[in-house]
């Protein structure tokens, strides 16, 4: 008969040590995981739809509420919520009262806030990169898809409603609505296939997007002018960018303004003009522009030229005036000088921010029909607009202000 194995003291000590190591590992994983440094408070009950917009723009507007939102450059309002981003916190507000109904907070600083496919997209910086992206539902703040990215601080998010692109000086990424990456372009950190990027050393100076078309203005070494590249980010992940065309422009210091289904509009200096490019990159039209030289200085922040699509037009802010472009062939329709931003629309009417308030303009010719006074106190900087039902939102630097 075999004798029962006796437990030795050393065996018990070794077993206890193994258990302790396993427990310590679990504790460390829990303590260092993103969930341990995340606070997510959802809205109960969910936010509900806001009242419809009035039949016409109101005669007067007064401040209803304000909130800090330094991580965004334009008001974010969709579904039933107004969403702000400041410090490390994304907040969903009741549009009518400004009450905080949900919030999402990390122990990391926010890089930027954007939206796509009806969700807010919060991009957090972790080390060198703006690498942690989380989608948030506007009615509750509940988390949706998440991903890691390789974009750098200063990135901005631009969306066509299904695809969203994170800009960057040497690298940009495009993601689907589920945050699956479908395009890498530029200097890729660790490419799985070599030589898939046509120009990894070019500086991206401005970017514009429309459905399934992404225009990038590049400044490449040893090229006499800037380069306009038109990409087609697809629905599926691909190592090699799908390039519609790439042409060297006859000048440097240019910027891409807007892109339509078969056109791209580029601002060219000396003389100042809007060059409209066709499907192969060749110029199909050129329009002289009366734009001050200081409006052309430098590249736009975040590689984005300030524009806003409204019914029947693309509104473009040069830095001192708002130019309305035809949304199909991109020709300039009218220009309003002395403005503070591209403008927006409320009750199907274009509104343009001016030092005096908000100019209600005729969409056909840009004639100012009336101006709604707005008291902005000591603020004199750029203003971007978004409307949600009866609420008009102004982004003034790091602050979002709701008017009603």
Q: How confident is the model at residue 219 (pLDDT cuts 50, 70, 90)?
A: very high
Provide the 8-state DSSP code for 16: H
For residue 286, the domain's CATH number is: 2.40.128.630
User: In the listed set 129, 147, 165, which residue is the last one of a domain according to the structure?
Assistant: 147
Q: Report the C-alpha gap between 375 and 356 in whole angstroms.
A: 8
Give me the residue label for tokens 């997510």: 40
Looking at the fold, whether 80 and 97 belong to one and the same domain comes out as: yes
Question: Is residue 318 located within the same domain as residue 288?
Answer: no
- Helix, strand, coil percentages, rounded to 5, for the chain: 10, 45, 45
Q: What is the pLDDT of residue 31?
A: 45
Is 2 domain-assigned?
A: no
Asked if residue 172 belongs to a domain, the reply is: yes
Which distant-in-sequence residues (6+ apart) come within 8 Å of 52 by Cβ?
Answer: 389, 390
Does one domain contain both 47 and 118? Answer: yes
- For residue 103, give its domain range: 36-147
C-beta of residue 258 within 8 angstroms of C-beta of residue 273: no
Asked whether residue 265 falls in the same domain as residue 325, the answer is: no
Query: Distance between CA atoms of 89 and 21, rounded to whole angstroms?
Result: 35
Q: Is 6 within the bounds of a domain?
A: no
* pLDDT value of position 11: 59
CATH (domain of 367): 2.40.10.480
Q: Is pLDDT at 4 greater than 70 in this prediction?
A: no
Q: Determine the average pLDDT of the residues in 27-46.
A: 71
Sheet of 119-126: strand order equals: 110-116, 119-126, 129-136, 143-151
**Which of 298, 318, 351 represents a domain boundary (last residue)?**
298
Is residue 217 pLDDT above 80, yes or no?
yes
Cα–Cα–Cα angle for 39, 42, 45, rounded to 5 degrees: 160
State whether 266 and 311 are in the same domain.
Answer: no
Of 3-7, 137-141, 203-207, the poorest mean pLDDT is in 3-7
Asked if the model's pLDDT at residue 385 lies above 80, the reply is yes
Alpha carbon 376 to chain centroid, angstroms: 25
Of the ranges 22-36, 83-97, 154-168, which one carries the lowest mean pLDDT score? 22-36
Q: What is the pLDDT of residue 134?
A: 98
Specify whether 288 is located in the same domain as 165.
Answer: yes
Tell me, yes or no, whether 121 lies in a domain: yes
Residues 137, 77 share a domain: yes
83 touches 93 (CB < 8 A): yes
Asked if residue 332 and residue 239 are part of one domain, the reply reads no
Task: Examine the domain organization and report whether 169 and 134 are in the same domain.
Answer: no
Let me know whether 127 and 249 are in one domain: no
- 403 found inside a domain: no
**pTM for this predicted structure:** 0.89
Considering the domain architecture, whether residues 294 and 317 belong to the same structural domain is answered as no
400: nearest Cα among 136, 40, 391:
391
- pLDDT digits 0-9 by tens, 264-291: 999 999 999 999 999 999 999 999 999 9
Q: What is the mean pLDDT of the chain?
A: 92
Helix (H) or strand (E) holding 352, with range, is strand 349-354
Q: What is the pLDDT of residue 158?
A: 97
Q: Is the pLDDT of residue 254 over 90?
A: yes
Residue 1, domain member (yes or no)? no
Residue 36 — very low, low, confident or very high, per pLDDT cuts 50/70/90?
A: low
Number of domains making up the chain: 3
Single residue among 116, 147, 178 that ends a domain in this structure: 147
Q: What is the mean pLDDT of residues 335-343?
A: 98
Whether 142 maps to a domain, the answer reads yes
Instruction: Read off the tokens for 24.
Output: 């310590």
Q: Tell me the pLDDT tens digit for each residue of 71-84.
A: 999 999 988 999 99
Task: Please check whether residues 194 and 97 belong to one and the same domain.
Answer: no
Asked whether residue 393 is domain-assigned, the answer is no
Using alpha carbons, list the distances in angstroms from residue 261 to 81, 273, 364.
31, 21, 22
Sorting pLDDT into bands at 50, 70 and 90, what band is 10?
low
Please give the Cα distance from 79 to 92 (Å, whole number): 11
């Amino acid at each position: 008969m075999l004798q029962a194995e006796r437990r030795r003291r050393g065996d018990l000590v070794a077993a206890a040590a193994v258990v302790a190591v396993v427990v310590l590992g679990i504790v460390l994983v829990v303590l260092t995981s993103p969930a341990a440094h995340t606070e997510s408070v959802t809205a109960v009950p969910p936010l509900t739809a806001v009242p419809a917009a009035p039949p016409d723009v109101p005669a007067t507007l007064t401040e209803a509420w304000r909130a800090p939102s330094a991580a965004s450059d334009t008001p974010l309002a969709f579904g039933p919520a107004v969403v702000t981003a400041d410090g490390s916190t994304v907040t969903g507000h009741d549009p009518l009262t400004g009450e905080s109904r949900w919030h999402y907070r990390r122990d990391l600083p926010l890089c930027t806030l954007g939206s796509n496919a009806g969700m807010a997209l919060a991009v957090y910086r972790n080390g060198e990169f703006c690498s942690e992206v989380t989608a948030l539902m506007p009615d509750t703040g509940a988390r949706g898809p998440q991903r890691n990215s390789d974009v750098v601080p200063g990135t901005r998010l631009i969306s066509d409603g299904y695809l969203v692109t994170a800009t960057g000086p040497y690298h940009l990424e495009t993601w689907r609505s589920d945050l699956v990456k479908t395009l890498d372009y530029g200097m890729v950190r660790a490419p799985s296939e070599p030589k898939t990027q046509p120009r990894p050393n070019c500086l991206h100076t401005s970017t514009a997007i429309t459905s399934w078309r992404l225009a990038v203005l590049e400044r490449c070494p040893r090229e006499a002018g800037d380069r306009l590249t038109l990409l087609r980010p697809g629905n599926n992940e691909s190592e090699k960018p799908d390039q519609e065309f790439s042409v060297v422009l006859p000048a440097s210091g240019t910027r891409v303004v807007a892109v339509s289904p078969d056109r791209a509009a580029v601002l060219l200096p000396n003389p100042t003009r809007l060059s409209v490019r066709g499907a192969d990159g060749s110029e199909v039209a050129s329009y002289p522009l009366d734009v001050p030289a200081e409006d052309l200085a430098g590249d736009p922040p975040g590689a984005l030229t300030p524009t806003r699509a409204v019914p029947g037009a693309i509104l473009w802010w040069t830095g001192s005036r708002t130019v309305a472009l035809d949304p199909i062939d991109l020709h300039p329709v009218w220009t309003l000088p002395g403005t503070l931003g591209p403008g927006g629309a409320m009750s199907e009417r274009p509104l343009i921010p001016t030092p005096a308030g908000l100019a209600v303009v005729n969409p056909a010719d840009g004639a100012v029909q009336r101006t709604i006074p707005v008291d902005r106190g000591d603020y004199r900087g750029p203003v971007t607009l978004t409307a949600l039902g009866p609420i008009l939102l102004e982004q003034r630097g790091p602050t979002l202000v709701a008017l009603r």
